[in-house]
């Protein structure tokens, strides 16, 4: 057992020399603080301005993007309002054109109806005129036939032929008197 003691003492010295996680060594702490301060000064001199510049540039870029977005939003709102006005104007114009087309169609329909009535009236008047002319011709023809029959009957009664123009005029005059009385 005696031989084991020097080994235990040697292990304890090694453990004390290596230090534990909670042991404080002054030299190591001094070098750690010195390296930390030196590193902090180097970062402050070289890295910090670059980092701050990048952050400020990013901040400026974001502000510019926000301002651009606001300008775009305002422009979009203006364009939307302008578009709405144009659509309203176009609707108004379309309604005016439709109303004008309806009025024009009504006017054309009325003119066509009036022309149709006039054509109908003219056709009716012409038909009446033609009927009257045919009636007059038929009456004239009947009168001639009546004169011819009267003369034929009279000539049979008198046994002579009455064919002269004078005889015809007398009979026509007599028939005219009969028409006037009726």
DSSP-assigned letter for residue 47 = I
- Write the pLDDT tens digit of every residue in 57-67: 999 999 999 99
Least reliable range by pLDDT among 85-94, 138-147, 170-179: 170-179
The pLDDT assigned to 79 comes to 95
Burial (0-12, 13-18, 19+ Cβ within 10 Å), 172? middle
CA-wise closest residue to 167 among 175, 136, 141: 175
Cα–Cα distance measured from residue 95 to residue 181, given in angstroms and rounded to the nearest whole number: 71
CB 142 within 8 A of CB 163: no
- Write the pLDDT tens digit of every residue in 132-168: 999 999 888 888 887 777 777 776 666 555 567 777 7
Q: 123 or 177, which is more confident?
A: 123
- Write the pLDDT tens digit of every residue in 13-44: 655 555 566 777 888 889 999 999 999 999 89
The pLDDT assigned to 166 comes to 74
Cα–Cα distance measured from residue 56 to residue 135, given in angstroms and rounded to the nearest whole number: 115
CB 161 within 8 A of CB 168: no
Cα–Cα distance measured from residue 39 to residue 31, given in angstroms and rounded to the nearest whole number: 12
Token reading at 29: 């702490």
How far is CA 105 from each of CA 56, 83, 91, 114, rounded to the nearest angstrom?
Answer: 71, 32, 21, 14
Q: Where are the beta strands (DSSP E) in the chain?
A: none
- Write the pLDDT tens digit of every residue in 101-125: 999 999 999 999 999 999 999 999 9
């Amino acid at each position: 057992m005696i031989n084991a003691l020097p080994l235990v003492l040697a292990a304890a010295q090694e453990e004390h020399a290596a230090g534990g996680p909670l042991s404080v060594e002054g030299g190591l702490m001094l070098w750690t603080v010195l390296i930390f301060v030196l590193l902090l000064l180097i970062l402050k001199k070289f890295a910090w301005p670059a980092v701050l510049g990048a952050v400020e540039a990013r901040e400026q870029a974001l502000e510019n993007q926000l301002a651009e977005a606001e300008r775009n939003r305002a422009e979009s709102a203006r364009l939307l309002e302008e578009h709405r006005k144009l659509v309203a104007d176009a609707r108004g114009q379309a309604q005016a054109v439709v109303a004008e087309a309806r009025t024009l169609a009504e006017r054309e329909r009325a003119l066509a109806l009036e022309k149709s009535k006039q054509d109908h009236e003219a056709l009716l008047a012409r038909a009446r005129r033609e009927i009257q002319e045919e009636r007059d011709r038929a009456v004239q023809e009947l009168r001639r036939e009546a004169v011819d029959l009267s003369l034929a009957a009279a000539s049979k009664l008198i046994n002579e032929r009455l064919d002269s123009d004078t005889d015809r005029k007398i009979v026509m005059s007599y028939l005219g008197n009969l028409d006037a009385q009726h």
